[in-house]
Amino acid sequence: MENLIALKTNRIPWALKIRGVLTILVAIFIGVWFLTPLVLITISAFASPRDYYQIEKVIPTHFTVEHFHALFFELEGWQAMLNSLKVVGLTILFSFTVGLPASYALSRYKFRGKSFLKLSMLASRMFPVMILAIPLLIIYMKIGLSDTIYGVALAHTIMVLPLIILVSASILASVSVDYEEAAMIFGLSRIHAFLKITLPLALPGLVASAILAFIISWNEVFIATILNLTNRTLPAHIFRSAMDSPDYFKFTAGFIMSIPAVIFIFFVRKHLVTMWGISLK
């Protein structure tokens, strides 16, 4: 019996040590697994073509920013990036203008059919919106919206609207009704109470949900490629031209698309699990 206890007390530090080492090993594996592709694309984006095509040169030693210049100013990358930013901005504008009243209704009222509306918002999250690009193109051609950033932004709004409504509703619900009602007792109308009291309080959360919309719209390629021929967004532009370009352009394009996304995540990292875990469900 005594032996057993001695054995146990002896073994615990060992077990802890093994655990510690294992934790470090797994952490290193995770780090290597996720960071390697990002590090390598950064190297390749700046590598000089001559180093790249030298098969025995694993790590390039000569670097250049020429590809960036060419991609942005000769191959219309800059214009595509501006288009992307406009589409994203319009998508956020449209989805909040249309969706915010609905999220307010969900967060503040009890009404018949509420759970049905909530469920249909959830269900429309599951709908493969991309296929709507095909009929939308035909409709857009009739009303002159084809090949415009407005057309793409409206299509992207379909994708993000249900998400914005649901996430914003839960954020608005977390702002206490009491402030709003107090303001209304002091004579503010409901709309003023919302704009002056609730909206500022909910703003940080709403910004986080706007970021979700940003990422979805910024990355979307199927709809953007089908709807627009000349006014292409960045992903659509790269998608159409990358595979016909020399390799070093592909890498620079990959870098240009990836790094904003990575920086983005760095800035919203604090909201990641609490917000995204819920909203992605």
Q: Which stretch binds another protein (CB under 8 A): 9-17, 72-80, 137-145, 198-206?
A: 137-145
Short-list 146, 148, 280, CA closest to 211: 280
13 binds another protein (CB under 8 A): no
Q: Closest approach of Cβ 258 to another protein, in Å?
A: 5
273 binds another protein (CB under 8 A): yes
Q: Closest approach of Cβ 275 to another protein, in Å?
A: 9
Q: Which stretch binds another protein (CB under 8 A): 3-11, 71-79, 195-203, 242-250?
A: 242-250
Q: Closest approach of Cβ 3 to another protein, in Å?
A: 22
Q: How many chain residues touch another protein (CB under 8 A)?
A: 89
Structure-block tokens of residue 203:
């703003």
Q: Which stretch binds another protein (CB under 8 A): 64-72, 74-82, 201-209, 250-258?
A: 250-258
Restricting to residues 93-132, name those near another protein by CB under 8 A: 97-99, 101-102, 104-105, 109, 111, 114, 117, 123-124, 126-132
Q: Which is nearer to another protein, 77 or 235 (CB)?
A: 235
Region of 244 (left: φ > 0; alpha: ψ -120 to 50; beta: rest) is alpha
Restricting to residues 17-76, name those near another protein by CB under 8 A: 23, 26-27, 30-31, 33-35, 37-38, 40-41, 44, 52-53, 55-58
Q: Closest approach of Cβ 219 to another protein, in Å?
A: 3
Restricting to residues 169-228, name those near another protein by CB under 8 A: 184-185, 190, 215, 218-222, 225-226
Q: Closest approach of Cβ 250 to another protein, in Å?
A: 5
Q: Closest approach of Cβ 10 to another protein, in Å?
A: 20
3-class secondary structure for the chain? Answer: CHHHHHHHHHHHHHHHHHHHHHHHHHHHHHHHHHHHHHHHHHHHHHECHHHHHCCCCCCCCCECCHHHHHHHHHCCHHHHHHHHHHHHHHHHHHHHHHHHHHHHHHHHCCCCCHHHHHHHHHHHHHCCHHHHHHHHHHHHHHHCCCCCHHHHHHHHHHHHHHHHHHHHHHHHHCCCHHHHHHHHHCCCCHHHHHHHHHHHHHHHHHHHHHHHHHHHHHHCCHHHHHHCCCCCCHHHHHHHHHHHCCHHHHHHHHHHHHHHHHHHHHHCHHHHHHHHHHHCC
Q: Closest approach of Cβ 182 to another protein, in Å?
A: 11
78 binds another protein (CB under 8 A): no
